[in-house]
C-alpha cells in the first residue's frame, strides 16, 4: 500500500462488519487480485472496496456503469420516489458517513446539499460543475409564482441528464474521480467510462436525427425537466408547473399555457411518470390536445417505459417524434 493512499481510516468494528458483506461480492466478480494486493484484509479506507453512495437515479446509473459490478453503489432516493423533495434520515446519513465516496449534484435536492455539510469533503464529488447547468429555471417558460420554489432548488435548472451530451460530461467526471481514488483499477474505470460515453453519443445522434424535422417545436411539459433536452435539439419548453413537480400552477399560468397551445396548434401535452397528471389533463381537455408521456428519469419503476436510462430515453424520443410531428 503506497503511503500516499488517501483517506485510509483506522479499522473500527463497523468497518469489519461491512467488509464481511463486501468480500463475497468482490470475490464473485474476480477482484481477488486487488484484495491480495491490499494485504491484511480490506479496510474501510481502501478505495477499491469502500461503498459509493449516490444521490438519485441518473448519478447512480452512471456510477454503476463506470464502477463496474465489483463496487458497492447505492442510491439515497428510492426508486419511484420524487427526488426533488427527498428527506435524509439518520440511516441515510450514516450510510453517507461510512461511504468511500458520495456523488451528488449540488442545487437539486436541498436535503442532500444539507447532509453533505456533515461529510468529509475529501470524500464528496459534486457533479454540478461538469453538468454545465447554464439554464435558469425562468428560461423554462413558467411564471413567477414558483420563484420561491426555485430558491429552494438552487438557481439553475438541474435536469442535466436529459441531455446526453451533458450526461456524458458528468460520466467523465465520475470516471476520473474513481480512477484517482483507486489507481490500481484506473484502466477499468477508463474503459467503462469510454463505453458509457459511446452509448450516450449514439443516443445523442438518434435524438438529433429523430427531432431534426418536426412540424411543432413548442414542447409543453408538466414540470420543467426538459429544458436542456429541448435546447439541445431545437425545441422550446413550456412547463405547466415549473422546475419542481409539486409547484401548483396558478390559474393565470394555466391560461397562458392553454393560449399558447391553441395559438401554435400544439397537438400534444406531455404528462410524467412520477407526477400527478391533473394539470396536464386540464390543459389537454381545455385545448383538445392529446396527452402523451415523457419520463424525466428521476427514478425508475415498473411503470417506467424501460428498465434503464437508455431504454426510457428511446421511449421519450418515440413519444416526441409522434407528439411533435417529426419526419
Residue 225 vs 284, nearer CB to Zn ion: 225
Beta bridge partners of 284: none
**Residue 88 vs 247, nearer CB to Zn ion:** 247
Nearest distance, CB of residue 57 and Zn ion, angstroms: 11
Cα–Cα dist 223/153, whole Å: 14
Closest approach, Cβ 274 to Zn ion, in A, equals: 9
Contacts with Zn ion by CB under 5 A lie at 225
Least distance in angstroms from the C-beta of 298 to Zn ion? 5
How far apart (Å, rounded) are the C-alpha atoms in residues 264 and 146? Answer: 25
Kindly give, in sequence order, each residue whose CB lies less than 8 Å from that of residue 68, ignoring residues fewer than 6 positions away. 29, 188, 189, 192
Min dist CB 202 to Zn ion, Å, is 25
Nearer to Zn ion, 178 or 312 (CB): 312
CB of 275 to Zn ion, least distance (A): 9
126 phi and psi angles, rounded to 5 deg: -95, 115
Nearer to Zn ion, 77 or 287 (CB): 77
CB of 172 to Zn ion, least distance (A): 23
CB count within 10 Å of CB 87 equals 12
Nearer to Zn ion, 53 or 225 (CB): 225
Q: Three cell numbers at 37?
A: 494486493
Cα dihedral 316, 322, 325, 327, rounded to 10, equals 90
Nearest-CA neighbor of 127 among 111, 109, 151?
A: 109
Those residues whose C-beta lies under 8 Å from the C-beta of residue 226, and which sit 6 or more positions away, are 159, 162, 219, 235, 237, 239, 294, 296
Residue in the shown chain whose Cβ atom is closest to Zn ion: 225
Using the minimum distance from each CB to Zn ion, give the nearer residue, 111 or 225: 225
Q: Per the structure block, which three cell numbers stand in for 284? A: 389537454
- Least Å distance, CB 286 to Zn ion, is 25
- Cell representation of residue 85: 423533495
E strand spans, 213-310: 218-221, 236-239, 268-271, 290-293
Q: Using the minimum distance from each CB to Zn ion, give the nearer residue, 67 or 225.
A: 225
Burial class (CB in 10 A: 0-12, 13-18, 19+), 198: exposed
Amino acid at each position: 500500500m503506497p503511503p500516499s493512499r488517501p483517506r485510509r481510516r483506522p479499522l473500527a468494528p463497523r468497518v469489519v462488519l461491512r467488509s464481511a458483506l463486501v468480500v463475497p461480492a468482490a470475490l464473485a466478480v474476480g477482484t481477488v487480485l486487488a484484495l491480495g494486493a491490499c494485504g491484511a484484509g480490506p479496510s474501510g479506507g481502501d478505495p477499491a472496496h469502500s461503498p459509493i453512495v449516490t444521490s438519485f437515479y441518473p448519478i447512480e446509473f452512471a456510477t454503476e456503469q463506470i464502477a463496474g459490478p465489483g463496487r458497492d453503489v447505492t442510491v439515497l432516493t428510492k426508486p419511484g420516489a420524487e427526488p426533488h423533495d427527498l428527506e435524509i434520515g439518520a440511516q441515510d446519513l450514516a450510510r453517507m458517513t461510512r461511504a468511500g465516496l458520495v456523488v451528488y449534484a449540488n442545487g437539486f435536492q436541498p436535503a442532500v446539499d444539507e447532509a453533505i455539510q456533515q461529510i468529509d469533503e475529501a470524500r464528496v464529488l459534486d457533479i454540478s460543475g461538469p453538468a454545465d447547468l447554464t439554464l435558469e429555471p425562468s428560461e423554462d417558460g413558467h411564471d413567477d409564482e414558483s420563484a420561491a420554489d426555485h430558491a429552494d432548488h438552487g438557481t439553475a435548472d438541474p435536469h442535466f441528464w436529459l441531455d446526453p451530451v451533458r450526461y456524458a460530461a458528468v460520466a467523465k467526471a465520475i470516471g476520473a474521480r474513481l480512477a484517482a481514488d483507486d489507481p490500481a483499477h484506473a484502466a477499468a474505470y477508463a474503459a467503462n467510462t469510454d463505453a458509457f460515453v459511446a452509448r450516450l453519443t449514439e443516443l445523442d445522434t438518434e435524438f438529433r436525427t429523430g427531432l431534426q424535422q418536426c412540424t411543432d417545436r413548442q414542447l409543453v411539459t408538466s414540470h420543467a425537466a426538459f429544458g436542456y433536452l429541448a435546447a439541445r435539439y431545437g425545441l422550446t419548453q413550456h412547463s405547466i408547473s415549473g422546475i419542481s413537480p409539486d409547484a401548483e400552477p396558478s390559474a393565470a399560468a394555466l391560461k397562458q399555457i392553454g393560449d399558447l397551445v391553441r395559438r401554435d396548434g400544439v397537438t400534444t401535452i406531455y404528462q410524467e411518470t412520477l407526477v400527478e397528471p391533473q394539470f396536464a389533463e386540464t390543459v389537454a381537455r381545455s385545448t383538445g390536445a392529446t396527452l402523451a408521456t415523457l419520463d424525466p428519469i428521476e427514478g425508475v419503476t415498473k411503470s417506467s417505459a424501460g428498465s434503464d436510462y437508455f431504454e426510457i430515453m428511446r421511449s421519450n424520443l418515440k413519444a416526441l417524434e409522434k407528439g411533435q410531428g417529426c419526419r
